[in-house]
Amino acid sequence: MLLRNKFKEAYRILAKESHPDRNSSPEAKEKFKLVNETYCVLSDQAAKTQYDALYDIMMMLGASTHITAGT
């Protein structure tokens, strides 16, 4: 439970820092999308299991380390 609370707290901090309404940098929108995508995958055990399996396959094939959710 403590780890889950730290995870949520870290997500909220990153989401707040990167939200395009609060951050005017050109990268803010992409970073915000990435933070949300990461949170969605890591907070859903089934999605995390799928991501981990896909990541393992991609690494065996020598692919890039960035995998977007839903692929």
The 10s digit of each residue's pLDDT in 13-65 is 999 999 999 999 999 999 999 999 999 988 898 988 998 898 889 888 887 65
Alpha carbon distance 25, 56 (integer Å)? 33
Q: What pLDDT score was predicted for residue 31?
A: 95
Closest CA to 38 of 48, 28, 46: 48
Residue 14, classified by CB atoms within 10 Å of its CB into exposed (0-12), middle (13-18) or buried (19+), is middle
Q: What pLDDT score was predicted for residue 66?
A: 58
- Contact call for residues 44 and 38 (beta carbons, < 8 A): no
Q: What pLDDT score was predicted for residue 71?
A: 47
Q: What pLDDT score was predicted for residue 69?
A: 52
| Residue 10 reports pLDDT greater than 50 | yes
Residue 6 to residues 9, 13, 41, 68, 69: CA-CA distances in angstroms?
Answer: 5, 11, 16, 23, 22
